[in-house]
Structure 1
Amino acid sequence: SLCPSHLGGDLGNQLEESDLMSIEVKIADLGSACWTYKPFSKEIQTQPYRALEVLLGLDYGTPADIWSTACLAFEMATGECLFDPQPGKYFSRDDDHVARIIELLGRIPPQIVFSWNKSTKFFSRPGALLRLSRLIPRSLPGILADRHGWTPQDAAAFAAFLLPALHYAPERRASAAQSLRHAWIAAP
């Protein structure tokens, strides 16, 4: 069962288990929702939750929703967007988004990069972004511990839950069922 200690840091210390049992969720914006068998747009999802395959113009499916869910879980646990891309003078918001993803998840394998329609919009060659070159590698457990005060154990456990949902290859990304069976969710 999910309990406050799963959230780590200050938020986990402030919540009681009874608080989590009374949470109500309201789905308010289905503006970009579509049927899985009949997508109507190449651009879906709110920018900070947008899956890499959507950014790069690849066909998408339910794995894109898993990516978004991981981003949302991070935000709910920390109060901060996992990816909060911003445009710059010489690069777009999408450029920054791809760069932030690479900083967190590492180099995108060439077989994935160049199989996508918009790859040349972002990359000059495998792993080389066109408009951003100074990437600073980050680790998810490090972000959770350093920026949000999580213990190394809690940070590692939450990262182990999120990272399979952020796999670059959509077909290798964790499914909803796999995520629900993950030890981080199942632990008391």
Structure 2
Amino acid sequence: MSHASPSAELFEHFPARPGQKLKDGQYTVHRKLGSGVYSTTYLVSDPQAECDEFTNRYRAAKILTVEGTRTYHEGQSRELEFLKQIAACDDIDSLPVLEDHFEERGPEGTHLCLVTQLLSTDVSSFRRSAPNKALPAHTAKTILTQILEALAQLHALGIIHTDVKLDNILFNSVKGDNDVEDRLKTETVAVEGEVEIKGETYPVLRSQPIRHDFAWDASPFISEIMQFVLVDLGQAQRAGEQPTVDEFSAYALRAPELILRSDFGPKVDIWAVGCLAFELLVGRWLFAPEEGEDWTLEDDHLAKMMELTGERCSAAMLERASFRSKYFDEQGSLLRLELIPDHSIEAALTAYKIVPDMEIAGAASFIRACLRLDSSDRPSAEVLQIHPWLMGKVGDPPEQS
């Protein structure tokens, strides 16, 4: 198909061609791996790189849009700053490793390029590959444990991710250069059409991530060797500093303090982890708020949070909330919605008949720890790493004598 009048979004992205050279010829573009609102990621190779048995020649180049590059120059996006800080660490746990960065000129402006290790597909598509869209508890625990490792390191560095979601968790499973080259030989570059920008024609490439060989129903033994990386620090913020933007995270994963504009800090990431634990186990979002004739999306979201957790926003929490009067009366009750009693995390996990009975109590305990309404009551990522459910001490059958 041909795109005669491409959208403004296409102009914003860097329109790379297979075989194109970047950074004065150092890198060669091979295919498109994926894209987001503010960036496109390409598979590139560096022929001059020193190689061992692991991938060194092939890397991922995340190229920001013109707008994304502008937000970097204006200090709204601090991804490069945070990636440099991570790269300076002795050991990096489940986080992207910055190997190079530079700027490239495109037809519509300048693009910041971030070169990192090459990763595979995302956990969101992996979850959706299961017939019921849910993953076994042992696989969910592996993913959550590694994401908590990543968050513990980020938070120790004073970095808040703010966009922890399954789309941003990638498999770290590329075996080496030979593996990549075999896939390049067997999978031709997919071109969906072309676009004309300033009189020149560019191909519109389809996303072709490097796929892994893991199945959704992998055994506990196999799931233990899965490795994951928490990517995309484009919205990340510095703890203790004024946020550079007003809106964070996917709506369904947004913590109550983000709605109320109260205590913004690292614990917004912990709330998201609790929501993701449910999504991994059940195959559905934990929160799916809806707007009504007499109430807003935010009203319903706050009501569902209180119903599910059995908690109420404390007077101290509401006192610190800039938007308190938008949602609560003087007594701390919601202005426009009555709470429905008898909801619980256990009931939500049980309702779909997917999570094994022996996992319900432990999973609910983990999720409840993450979903404390007052962020100061939530445990740190470091503490959550040794939660009994993740450590296999809750829900496991007794050992056979």
Mapping of residues 143-158 of structure 1, within 5 Å:
143-158=348-363
Aligned residues of 1:42 and 1:57 also touching (Cα < 8 A)? no
The normalised TM-score by structure 2 is 0.41
Any gaps of 5 or more consecutive residues in structure 2?
Answer: 1-134, 141-215, 394-401
SS at match of 1:65: helix
Mapping of residues 1-188 of structure 1, within 5 Å:
4-6=136-138, 14-21=217-224, 23=226, 25=228, 29-38=232-241, 39-106=243-310, 107-187=312-392
2:223 and 2:354 mapped to 1: Cα distance? 21
Aligned residues of 2:307 and 2:339 also touching (Cα < 8 A)? no
2:228 and 2:296 mapped to 1: Cα distance? 33
**Deviation of the 1:35 alpha carbon:** 2.2
Aligned residues of 1:7 and 1:77 also touching (Cα < 8 A)? no
Q: 1:5 to 1:57 in 2, by over 3 A?
A: closer
SS at match of 2:258: helix
Which residue identity does 1:69 align to in structure 2? V
SS at match of 2:329: strand
Q: 1:40 to 1:6 in 2, by over 3 A?
A: same
Q: 1:16 to 1:64 in 2, by over 3 A?
A: same
1:85 and 1:34 mapped to 2: Cα distance? 26
Which residue identity does 1:178 align to in structure 2? V
**Deviation of the 1:176 alpha carbon:** 0.4
Q: 1:49 to 1:184 in 2, by over 3 A?
A: same
2:234 and 2:335 mapped to 1: Cα distance? 32
**Deviation of the 1:24 alpha carbon:** 6.0
RMSD between superposed Cα atoms in Å:
2.6
Q: 1:77 to 1:7 in 2, by over 3 A?
A: farther
2:356 and 2:331 mapped to 1: Cα distance? 36
SS at match of 1:108: coil
1:168 and 1:134 mapped to 2: Cα distance? 15
**Deviation of the 1:110 alpha carbon:** 2.8
As a proportion of its length, which structure holds more helix?
1
Q: 1:5 to 1:97 in 2, by over 3 A?
A: closer
1:79 and 1:176 mapped to 2: Cα distance? 23
**Deviation of the 1:169 alpha carbon:** 1.9
Q: How many residues align?
A: 182
**Deviation of the 1:85 alpha carbon:** 1.2
**Deviation of the 1:119 alpha carbon:** 1.0
Say which is worse superposed, 20-29 or 102-111, in terms of deviation. Answer: 20-29
Number of the residue aligned with 2:205 = none
The normalised TM-score by structure 1 is 0.83
**Deviation of the 1:27 alpha carbon:** 5.1
1:41 and 1:135 mapped to 2: Cα distance? 34
Aligned residues of 2:288 and 2:301 also touching (Cα < 8 A)? yes
2:139 and 2:360 mapped to 1: Cα distance? 9
Aligned residues of 1:142 and 1:155 also touching (Cα < 8 A)? no
SS at match of 1:186: coil
Number of the residue aligned with 2:92 = none
Aligned residues of 2:346 and 2:361 also touching (Cα < 8 A)? yes
Of structures 1 and 2, the one scoring higher in RCO (CA 8 A, sep 6+) is 1
Q: 1:147 to 1:127 in 2, by over 3 A?
A: farther
SS at match of 2:237: coil
